[in-house]
Structure 1
């Protein structure tokens, strides 16, 4: 067990390596991660972050290692508001795996004061990870802050762009499509039709008890659940 006062990148990398699992590492690589990782369980990364607490400078140094586990840890101890919009943009464009992309969105981007300006910029880029982040933020706007969002325009873009989009981008475009269908009854029929027409994630494997990411199934299931809650 490493000392609780772990504060240097070298010490942290050594501890992460000691926590690594070949099984987790193999699974991560199968899911698209690079080999620059130790295969640490996410629960162990969270426990280490809880021990270190917030440490912005250390987080930046960990991020620069490009090690998967170190970058995930960095996202838990970083101070998002100390990052400039350009720094966030560079971080987004440097990632290479969905796990890091999703944690970056959840723990940094969604709390950043420049997130709307970044969203608008990323919605116009061809860079796959930046576009993924842009669509992720757009899905959040559709769900929680839809004022000013052009829903018909989003549906037009999804219908025309999603079939040829990079897999990284398809995932958050699909989330936006599903959230439109769930949150906007007036556009539900069109969202369902687009999902059926495109067929993306129709055969996606899901564990028992989980909802398929195939938009028509996802939309109908969530609408049914919400109607039960309100009835």
Structure 2
């Protein structure tokens, strides 16, 4: 049985490091060498444990973050925490598992989906002149954050407004 503390979990994961698994994982953009079946077995022994999950996540180690995701309870995290975690998840497997195992099962799934889609759409429109008209059109059709109260001298998060404002600022700079 795996002892439930960060050091022992990290030691267990280090002992599972396999060059063949690392080579396969690196082909997919991941940076760990732990067989996923063995990693899942570690998480199963640990059971659900949000306190340990946060500590494992904070190591920044990919295998530790995957274990953390498997021992998290989706309802234990607010939207801001989930958003911050997703932005920290630079490895495809961590990103995918976080979205599929935690975010999708949380009560914040829909609001985060809208925020992330709106932000992505806005950046596509800002950064890609050829796609800008289409991004603005999609933003208008979706209407995400259209009625969001925006203080004076701030840019609205409504994609068409956001795109137009940032492009105009850059052109004037």
Q: Bin the TM-score by the shorter chain.
A: 0.5 to 0.7
Runs (4+) of structure 1 moved beyond 4 Å? Answer: none
Are the equivalent residues in 2 in contact too, given 1:95–1:101 (CA < 8 A)?
Answer: yes
Kindly indicate whether residue 24 of structure 2 is the aligned counterpart of residue 23 of structure 1: no
Match of 1:70 among 60, 64, 70: 64
- Taking structure 2 as the reference length, what is the TM-score of the superposition? 0.67
CA distance in 2, matches of 1:82, 1:21: 33
Q: Please state how far the C-alpha of 1:5 moved relative to its aligned partner.
A: 4.7
Report the counterpart of residue 94 of structure 1 in structure 2: 88
**Alignment-derived partner of residue 52 in structure 2:** 58
Higher-Rg member (1/2): 2
Asked whether the equivalents of residues 33 and 96 of structure 1 are also in contact (C-alpha less than 8 Å), the reply is no
Number of residue pairs matched by the alignment: 126
Post-superposition shift, 1:19?
0.9
Please list, as runs of the form range in 1=range in 2, the aligned pairs for 1:1-231 lying within 5 A after superposition.
4-34=1-31, 37=32, 39-126=33-120
Q: Distance in 2 between matches of 1:31 and 1:46?
A: 19
The aligned residue for residue 160 of structure 2 is none
Q: Secondary structure at the match of 2:119?
A: coil
RCO comparison, higher one (Cα < 8 Å, 6+): 2
Cα distance in structure 2, aligned partners of 1:33 and 1:107: 18
Unaligned runs of 5+ in 1: 132-152, 158-231
